[in-house]
Amino acid sequence: MNYHRPGRRSESELGGGGAWTEPRYMRNYGQYCPVARGAEIFAERWTPIIMRNVLHGCRTFNDIAAGAPGLSRALLTRRLRELDHAGVVKIRPKPDGHGSFYEPTPAGRALEPVLTALGMWAEEWTDVRPEHSDPAVVVWSWGRLHLRRESLPDRRIVVRFEFHRRGRRETMWLLIEQHEAELCAFDPGFGDDLVVVVNDPVTFARWHLGHIEWTTALRSGGVNVTGPPDLRRALPTWNRRPEIGAKLRAAHRATAGRPQSSGPLASM
């Protein structure tokens, strides 16, 4: 899925020919402890998010940036250089010479269970709060990582999302065509088949994570959908993340041997 945002450069300086100041690489804790050595690489701010995106298949600078709103392009540039230096990400120039591809090395792929464990810990011990619930990230994750392509209609579908973000009203479009998706910051010009208004970002995020059912999100008023009835019914089935989240939570409860009603998970 591509994220078009006119007026921004298509790639960072990483693949260009401009001058480059060598970055300050990860802090050294001066300890032989494996936790300290691993933290020098993995515990830098934004690094887990960048690695999550790369491991999910984001290969261009813009793809990685789209899944990390709030991360400046300058800092993303520095972090990618640091990860390349650490042998976790490989920076490979594009064949046309414009920009680069970013691919996980074997060491980078080995971080996947670390990310999974971190995510499961957060599911168990933290709550989804408003500051975590950027609707644009939910839409990006839905279209880029969790779109159930086999369930999509054969015809073109345009879904318009409306929500408040950082104190202002924003709109984005999910263009679905030929069982692929493209996230657009501007109206693609085909007309809207569905309009999704996110009144409560926490409700939207909790549905995406599998904490609540789609019908619950609608009844609460946190999410409102207008459009043809058949498309309204089909819309939530195009997202596989809620089902994945519900299964992971159930498996975690079973493994932990706790009843469903106990612990912080029950309040989510």
Position 24 scores a pLDDT of 55
**In contact, 165 and 136? CB cutoff 8 Å:** yes
Integer Cα distance of 52 and 239 in angstroms: 19
Residues of the chain with CATH 3.30.1050.10: 130-246
- In the predicted structure, residue 25 carries a pLDDT above the cut 90: no
Does this model's pTM top 0.85? no
Q: Does 12 have pLDDT greater than 70?
A: no
Residue holding tokens 């830098």?
A: 44
In the chain, pLDDT over 90 holds for what percent of residues?
70
pLDDT at 71 over 80: yes
**Mean pLDDT of the chain, nearest integer:** 86
Confidence of residue 239 (pLDDT cuts 50, 70, 90): very high
- Architecture in CATH for domain 130-246: 2-Layer Sandwich (3.30)
Mean pLDDT confidence for 66-82 = 95
Provide CATH 1.10.10.10 ranges for the chain: 3-125
Span 3-125 CATH architecture: Orthogonal Bundle (1.10)
- Residue 85: per-residue pLDDT: 95
Q: Give the model's pLDDT for residue 18.
A: 35
According to the model, what pLDDT value does residue 45 have? 93
How much is the pLDDT for 10? Answer: 42
Q: Could you tell me whether strands 180-184 and 168-177 are parallel, antiparallel, or unpaired per DSSP bridges?
A: antiparallel
| pLDDT on residue 133 | 92
Tell me what percent of the residues of the chain surpass a pLDDT of 70.
84
Is the confidence at residue 268, as pLDDT, over 50? no
DSSP 151: G
pLDDT tens-digit map of 88-139 = 999 999 999 889 999 999 999 999 999 999 998 998 899 999 998 999 999 9
DSSP class of residue 94? -
What pLDDT sits at residue 124?
A: 87
CA angle 160, 162, 167 (to 5 degrees): 155
* Long-range Cβ contact pairs of 231-234 (< 8 A, separation 24 or more): 231/153, 231/157, 231/193, 231/194, 232/194, 234/151, 234/153
Average pLDDT score over residue span 140-168:
92
Structure tokens given for 10: 């298509």
Quick one: pLDDT at residue 256? 65
